[in-house]
Structure 1
Amino acid sequence: MADETPEKTTTKDPAPAGPSPAASTAPTAPDVLTTAPGYQVRRLYQAYLAVWSRHVGQTLTGPQFAVLTTVRAHPGRDQSSLASAVALDTSTMADLARRLENRGLLERRTTASDGRRKLLHLTPEGERALREAEGRARALDDRLLARHAPGGRERLLHELTSLADEWERLGTDF
Structure 2
Amino acid sequence: MAHVYDLPGHLIRRLHQISVSAFASEAAAEGIELTPVQFAALSMLAEYPDIDQATLAGLVAYDRVTLGGVVNRLEARGLLERKVSATDRRARRLRVTEAGRKLVRDALPAIERTQEVILKDLNAEERETLLGLLRKMADANNGLSRAPLRLLTGKPPCDEPDEAP
For structure 2, the 5+ residue unaligned runs are: 147-165
Contact 2:27 2:34 in 1 (8 A): yes
- Residue in structure 2 matched with residue 108 of structure 1 by the alignment: 82
Amino acid at match of 1:129: L
Contact 2:19 2:114 in 1 (8 A): no
Amino acid at match of 1:135: P
Alignment of 1:80-91 (within 5 A): 80-91=54-65
- What are the Cα deviations for residues 48-82 of structure 1, in whole angstroms up to 9, with x where unaligned? 11111111253110000010011111111222112
TM-score normalised to structure 2 length: 0.77
Contact 2:22 2:117 in 1 (8 A): no
Give the RMSD, CA atoms, in angstroms: 2.0
Give, in whole Å, the separation in 2 of the partners of 1:35 and 1:145: 19
- After the TM superposition, list the runs of 4 or more consecutive aligned residues in structure 1 that deviate by more than 6 angstroms: none
Q: How many residues of Structure 1 are paired with residues of Structure 2 in the alignment?
A: 143
Secondary structure of the 1:112 match is coil
What percent of counterpart residues are identical?
33
Deviation at 1:91, TM superposition (A): 1.1
Q: Which has the higher contact order (CA 8 A, sep 6+)?
A: 2
Contact 2:18 2:118 in 1 (8 A): no
Give, in whole Å, the separation in 2 of the partners of 1:143 and 1:32: 27
- What are the Cα deviations for residues 101-126 of structure 1, in whole angstroms up to 9, with x where unaligned? 01000011121333442211111111
- Higher-Rg structure is 1
